[in-house]
Amino acid sequence: MSETSRRIAEILNDAARDGATLTYRQIADRAEIPPLRRIQTVTSTLEEMVRADHAAGRPLLAALAVSRAGDGLPGPGFFQLCRDLAMYFGPDNGPQARLFHEIQCRRIFDTLASS
């Protein structure tokens, strides 16, 4: 795991303990990612995290990262990757996406509450 991945995981774990989500920009700021391609760095790291969490059967910590423009939802890439991993079968936005996202966040919060 890269240093950037470790920092982003720590930031998201802190958010999980607070029962919160963070925008990609907030994550980039807190992880002190340099300006050039910073949101792309965050999203590619989040994709790696989704793949690793899914493979390990863990809740998707990356679900706590949301788009500023997405009405509290992750960006379309999150849902597309979840479809590629056969975890989700709906659209990138709307009620079905919101429900899937809420379930993923609840899994994270419940896991922390039980540990």
Q: SS3 string of 62-73?
A: HHHEECCCCCCC
DSSP letter at 57 equals: T
- Tell me what pLDDT residue 114 has: 75
Write out pLDDT tens, residues 30-77.
999 998 899 999 999 999 999 999 999 999 999 999 998 868 999 999
Q: Which residues pair with 22 in a beta bridge?
A: 65
Q: Which residue has the higher pLDDT, 12 or 35?
A: 12
C-alpha–C-alpha distance, residues 88 and 32, integer Å: 32
| CA–CA–CA angle 76, 105, 65 (5° rounding) | 45
Q: What is the pLDDT of residue 70?
A: 66
Provide the percentage of residues in the chain whose pLDDT is more than 90. 89
- Give me the count of residues in the chain: 115
Query: In this predicted structure, what is the pLDDT of residue 19?
Result: 93
